[in-house]
């Protein structure tokens, strides 16, 4: 049973990731791609909006899980680079998905069901991100690189680095990836010192 739900979530994500307009994606198409009947979709999700919200949240969770795994061993420097690499890969591969999520009314207008569902899970996502950061920072502390700081300060420093990564990654003349990661690393160090 659980696999069917996962298959449906993944099929919805594939449709969204192709940049299809969420209004035009049919439950029947998602069912077909998941290899289940249309009725089965409604056994797991009450509406298309619920399905979309859950599939995007599922994608975010998977990205965070990959980041956590990547940041789970090695020196602070190795962990930090590994986390950036995962993040940068997620961004590069999922631009159409992000486009849909950021731009489409179903995800953006505060009254839309999908938006409300995603919003209600935001604290959970932030908590997962903080856990990843926490592990990184504990490693940095163990290596004597910098002392622990307020959680929100570390989150802000991290968002600076991710922001710079996004800008550089968005630019069609991709800077040399390694150099970019190095700059991000130095920046994160400096902001935490």
What are the residues binding its own copies (CB under 8 A)?
A: 19, 21, 95-96, 98-100, 102-105, 108, 110, 115-116, 118-119, 122, 156-157, 159-168, 170-173, 183, 187, 190-191
Helices (H), 21-170: 27-34, 38-44, 48-70, 76-93, 95-103, 105-108, 113-120, 122-142, 151-170
Q: Are the beta carbons of 48 and 27 closer than 8 angstroms?
A: yes
**Shortest Å distance, C-beta 123 to its own copies:** 10
**Shortest Å distance, C-beta 122 to its own copies:** 7
Q: Are the beta carbons of 96 and 17 closer than 8 angstroms?
A: yes
Say which residue the tokens 């989150």 belong to. 155
**Shortest Å distance, C-beta 130 to its own copies:** 14
Measure the CA–CA gap between 162 and 142, rounded to whole angstroms: 24
> Between 73 and 109, whose beta carbon lies closer to its own copies?
109
**Shortest Å distance, C-beta 72 to its own copies:** 24
**Shortest Å distance, C-beta 146 to its own copies:** 13
> Between 51 and 161, whose beta carbon lies closer to its own copies?
161
> Between 31 and 165, whose beta carbon lies closer to its own copies?
165
**Between the CA of residue 145 and those of 91, 192, 193, what are the distances in Å?**
29, 9, 8
**Between the CA of residue 25 and those of 10, 51, 168, what are the distances in Å?**
14, 12, 32
> Between 75 and 120, whose beta carbon lies closer to its own copies?
120
> Between 43 and 92, whose beta carbon lies closer to its own copies?
92
């Amino acid at each position: 049973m659980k696999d069917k739900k996962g298959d449906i979530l993944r099929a919805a994500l594939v449709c969204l990731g192709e940049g299809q307009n969420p209004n035009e994606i049919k439950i029947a198409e998602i069912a077909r791609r998941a290899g289940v009947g249309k009725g089965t979709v409604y056994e797991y999700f009450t509406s298309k909006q619920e399905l979309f919200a859950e599939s995007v949240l599922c994608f975010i969770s998977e990205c965070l899980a990959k980041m956590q795994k990547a940041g789970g061993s090695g020196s602070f420097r190795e962990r930090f680079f590994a986390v950036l690499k995962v993040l940068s890969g997620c961004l590069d591969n999922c631009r159409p998905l992000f486009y849909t999520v950021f731009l489409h009314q179903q995800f953006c207008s505060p009254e839309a069901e999908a938006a409300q569902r995603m919003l209600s899970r935001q604290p959970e996502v932030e908590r997962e991100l903080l856990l990843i950061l926490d592990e990184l920072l504990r490693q940095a502390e163990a290596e004597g690189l910098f002392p622990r700081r307020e959680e929100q300060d570390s989150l802000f420093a991290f968002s600076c680095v991710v922001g710079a990564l996004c800008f550089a990654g968005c630019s069609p003349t991709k800077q040399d990836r390694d150099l970019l990661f190095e700059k991000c690393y130095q920046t994160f160090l400096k902001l935490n010192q």
